[in-house]
Amino acid sequence: MKNIAIMNLLVKGYESIAYTDNYIYGFRFNGAIYMVNMRGLDSRVLKLDRASRGAGYALRFKPTTDIKLYMLSMGATVLCSTSIFDSIVADSRYNKGEIFEKLVTEYYGQRWYKDSVPFTDGGDMVADGIAYQIKFEGATFTNERSLMNLMARR
């Protein structure tokens, strides 16, 4: 029960300060990299985890096979094979999340560039007038300490 309450607190707090409630999630499944659009934070695809350095709990996107199957049923789209993705990551100075963001942006016919816009001030990409946050498996949305600090500034 305690973990459910903490998860709900983190989700509601994050949603209250996030610039957008539109997300594109990415994950590996059966040799392919998939993306799926979702509106709002869906606690079914999120995990409550311990944050590092005493920052309390963290809200992460760490999908299990069942979660990936659920996301596939929501209309996930294949971006590329995992071998192509891994090759791009290996040949790049960017991490998996940044490469996924790049591939999604290019899928929408846009030029990607690395930026550092906070999730409270903008999305990772705008397509058809809609701002999206883009998250690849393993991504952290926030942790208790960061969220409390951000909420206190508002």
pLDDT in tens, 24-43: 999 999 999 999 999 999 88
How many structural domains compose the chain? Answer: 1
In a domain, 28, yes or no: yes
pLDDT at 7 over 60: yes
In a domain, 45, yes or no: yes
In a domain, 14, yes or no: yes
**What's the pLDDT band for 148 if we cut at 50, 70, 90?**
confident
In a domain, 44, yes or no: yes
pLDDT at 1 over 60: no
Indicate the range of 26-35, 72-81, 145-154 predicted with least confidence.
145-154
In a domain, 154, yes or no: no
- Does 78 or 8 have the greater pLDDT score? 78
Range of the domain at 24: 2-147
Alpha carbon distance 82, 88 (integer Å): 10
First and final CA of the chain: distance in angstroms?
29
In a domain, 12, yes or no: yes
**Residues whose CB is less than 8 angstroms from the CB of residue 94 and which lie 6 or more positions away in sequence, other chains included:** 102, 114
Return the ∠ at Cα 53 (arms to 132 and 22), rounded to 5°: 10
